[in-house]
Amino acid sequence: MSRIGKMPVSLPSGVTVSVDDANVVTVKGPLGTLSQKIDSDISVEIENNELVLSRPNDEKRLKSLHGLYRALIANMVVGVSSGYRKELELVGVGYRAEANGQRLEMNLGYSHDIVIELPQEIKVETKTEKRSNPIITLSSIDKQLIGHVAAKIRSLRPPEPYKGKGIKFVGERLRRKAGKSAGV
The pLDDT tens digits for 81-125 are 999 999 999 999 999 999 999 999 999 999 999 999 999 999 999
In a domain, 146, yes or no: yes
Contact 164, 176 (CB under 8 A): yes
Number of structural domains the chain divides into: 2
- At 3, is the pLDDT very low, low, confident or very high (cuts 50, 70, 90)? confident
Q: Give the structural domain span for 18.
A: 3-81
In a domain, 182, yes or no: no
CATH label of the domain that carries residue 42? 3.90.930.12
Rounded-to-integer distance, Cα 156 and Cα 167, Å: 8
Domain boundary among 30, 51, 81: 81
Q: How far is CA 22 from the centre of its chain?
A: 27
Q: Which pLDDT score is estimated for 1?
A: 43
The pLDDT tens digits for 138-181 are 999 999 999 999 999 999 999 999 998 999 999 999 899 988 88
In a domain, 179, yes or no: no
Pair 107, 142 in one domain = yes
Contact 69, 76 (CB under 8 A): no
